[in-house]
Amino acid sequence: MERSAALLLVLALVNISCCCLDPPAAYGFTGAVCRLTYPAAVVLNEKTTEVIQAAFQHAKYPSVEGQRSIGFGTVKYGFHNLEIHNLSIGKSEFELKENEGIGISISNVSAVFKGTINYGYGSWLLDLKQSVDFEVESQIDLVINPNLYCGKGKVAICKEINNVANILADFIQEQAEQFLSDGDIGVDISVTSSPIIKSNYIESYHKGLVIYNNTKSDLSTSVFNPSQLTENRMLYFWISDGFLEPLMSAAHHDGRFNRNISGTELTDLFQTELSSARPESLNKWLSSEGPMLKARSVSVPHMWTTTEGTSVRAVAGVELLLDSQDMPALYFETDVTVVVNASYAEKKLILKATAERISITKMSTSEGPTEMEENLRGYLQEAVEKMGIPKVISYLEPELTALMDEQGLNLFDIINPEVLPQDGYVIVQLDFGFPQHLLVEFLKRTLN
């Protein structure tokens, strides 16, 4: 019983949708893939023993009633106040059966069953009723062959553990969607196909659609192929550009790429040494009372991934405001293309951005056109590369790390994670230790 429910952690991302395709047909509609290898399944099973045993230390079940006609009368029966106590598991083994399911062998499962039996016999001659409290200690061995399927439920598994299994599947699915969602931005990670079981891994295929303002993104040109993933690590995530770009678009429309800089932060920013001399007009504005720099994303950024990294092209509008002026002292727009590579170490997201192209497409000042305009344009172009891009990265790294930590990523024991950009997709591969906090939260929900 413990292993079969535990394997729902292996299959946690398998949330079955109302319409599923055969895996090859579903690849084109797949925005995200999860491959969990055999060593990861072993870790997950080891960690769930205490959860399942604790859940059945004192579990209650619905009453059962019925009747049956025999001879010249009727026997009525009822089982009430049914409880199970002190469940323990002696030994459990499992294997991944290719294209079949999961073979589970459980030995020495023991538990104490308690309850009340109400029974009675009624006829024209006799009316007998009786109530007996009972306590039975049972020990059994189980051989279970649960199969994954695509339909209305989550995962088909033996009747004995189906309830706990589905609670666990719902819980993990919810955790995954919460991790990928923030504020008004949500995701749909329901599956596009039945999961695949091989002898060394389980693989599930997910829509990866972004939901914002009641509008859902579309994805029908995914480039996924199982050969793109290996079996050397415990856990793999394959993420399509078709999933990531709508996330960036939703963040733009939600105002996530707007920032105001003032005070010492603005002063420190302009202490960065550049090869171009700072124009005198800019010195004058910065030394005025209450300067503020406002930066925002002007249009929806465009992104694409290659083996070199994830390229992002964005147009940013920047204005310098002064307390003494109603109109901006300076406004310019810059068209920027950067290549970003991501890594994760010491529980922090690390982004490395390299500028590929920078141009100043618009520029105006409160002083109107001047002879020094080209000098200012050249200075701003260098400032965007050496001040602006690093400043954006300095915001994104802690904010994205904090967003992931809010969902509990920092409580996971993530081992040697790698982010591998490819043509049209990104692969995240890692080893891990299963987080105790997730098991505890599941246990609280189950017992409540």
CATH of the domain at 381: 3.15.20.10
Mean predicted confidence (pLDDT) in 38-56: 66
What is the reported pTM?
0.72
307-353 tens-digit pLDDT: 999 999 999 999 999 987 888 999 999 999 999 999 999 899 999 99
- 68 in Cβ contact with 74 (< 8 Å): yes
* Domain-embedded: residue 397: yes
Residue 197 domain-assigned (yes or no): yes
Percentage of the chain beyond pLDDT 70 is 67
Q: Would you say residue 208 has pLDDT above 60?
A: yes
Q: Collapse the DSSP code of 198 into the 3-class scheme (helix H, G, I; strand E, B; otherwise coil) and give the result.
A: coil
- Name the domain count of the chain: 2
The reply to whether 121 falls in a domain is yes
Closest C-alpha among 178, 172, 171 to residue 405:
178
What is the spatial distance between Cα 297 and Cα 256, in angstroms, rounded to a whole number?
A: 9
Q: Are residues 300 and 206 in the same domain?
A: no
The answer on 240 and 281 residing in a single domain is: no
Do 281 and 231 lie in a common domain? no
360-364: list long-range contacts, CB under 8 Å, 24+ apart: 360/332, 360/333, 360/334, 360/384, 361/315, 361/333, 361/334, 361/335, 362/331, 362/332, 362/333, 363/330, 363/331, 363/332, 363/333, 364/330, 364/331, 364/332
Give one DSSP letter per residue of 375-440, joined into a string. HHHHHHHHHIIIIIHHHHHHHHHHHHHHHHHHTTGGGSEEEEEEEEEETTEEEEEEEEE--HHHHH
What residues have CB less than 8 Å from 353, skipping those under 6 apart? 338, 339, 340, 389, 390, 392, 393
* Nearest to 213, CA basis, from 166, 156, 163, 254: 254
81 in the Ramachandran plot: left (φ > 0), alpha (ψ -120 to 50) or beta?
left
pLDDT the model gives residue 183: 75
The length of the chain in residues reads 448
Give a yes or no: residue 101 inside a domain: yes
Q: Do 269 and 203 share a structural domain?
A: no
Report how far residue 111's alpha carbon sits from residue 89's, in angstroms, rounded to the nearest whole number: 9
- Mean pLDDT for the chain overall: 77
Q: What is the DSSP letter of 220?
A: -
Q: pLDDT of 367-386, one tens digit each?
A: 877 666 788 999 999 999 99
| 55-111 pLDDT per residue, tens | 566 666 677 777 777 656 677 767 677 777 777 766 666 677 777 666 666 666 677
Band (9; pLDDT cuts 50, 70, 90): very low
- Structure tokens given for 190: 């329901």
What letter would DSSP give residue 277?
Answer: P
Please tell me the distance from the alpha carbon of residue 445 to that of residue 111, in angstroms, as a whole number: 22
Beta bridge partners of 119: 77, 130
Q: Is residue 252 part of a domain?
A: no
Q: How far apart are CA 93 and CA 271, in angstroms?
A: 63
Q: Which residues pair with 416 in a beta bridge?
A: none
Assess if residue 381 is contained within a domain: yes
398 and 265 together in one domain: yes
pLDDT of 8 strictly over 50: no
What residue type is 244 in one-letter code? Answer: L
Mean pLDDT of 2-18: 35
Q: What angle do CA 271, 364, 390 make, to 5 degrees?
A: 35
Claim to verify: residue 433 and residue 394 sit in the same structural domain: no
- Determine the pLDDT at residue 382: 96
Distances 307 to 224, 311, 313, 424 between C-alpha atoms, Å: 15, 10, 17, 9
Neighbours of 151 (CB within 10 A): 11
Q: What percent of the chain has pLDDT over 90?
A: 37
Alpha-carbon distance of 84 to 137, in angstroms, equals: 10
Residues 10 and 147 grouped into a single domain: yes
Residues 213, 342 within the same domain: no
- Mean pLDDT calculated for residue range 239-244: 94
Residue 267: inside a domain, yes or no?
yes
Q: Which of 175, 303, 173 is nearest to 239 (CA)?
A: 303
- Give the pLDDT of residue 159: 40
Q: What is the pLDDT of residue 392?
A: 95
The pLDDT assigned to 115 comes to 76
196 and 230 within one domain:
yes
Provide the terminal-to-terminal Cα distance of the chain, rounded to the nearest Å.
Answer: 20
251 domain-assigned: no
322 and 239 in a single domain? The answer is no
Residue 231 pLDDT > 60: yes
Q: What are phi and psi of 201, to 5 degrees?
A: -160, 165
Query: What number of CA atoms fall less than 13 Å from residue 316's CA on the CB side?
Result: 25
Around Cβ 183, how many Cβ atoms within 10 Å? 11
For position 448, what pLDDT does the model report? Answer: 53
What is residue 168's predicted lDDT score, i.e. its pLDDT? 46
Q: Residue 163's pLDDT is what?
A: 44
Average the pLDDT over each of 1-10, 22-31, 286-295, 387-396 and give the range with the smallest value.
1-10
118-149 pLDDT, tens digit per residue, is: 766 665 555 667 777 767 776 666 555 544 43
Residues 389 and 422 occupy one common structural domain: no
Domain that holds residue 371: 257-406
pLDDT at 66: 76
Average pLDDT estimate for 32-47: 78
Task: Give yes or no: residues 400 and 418 share one domain.
Answer: no
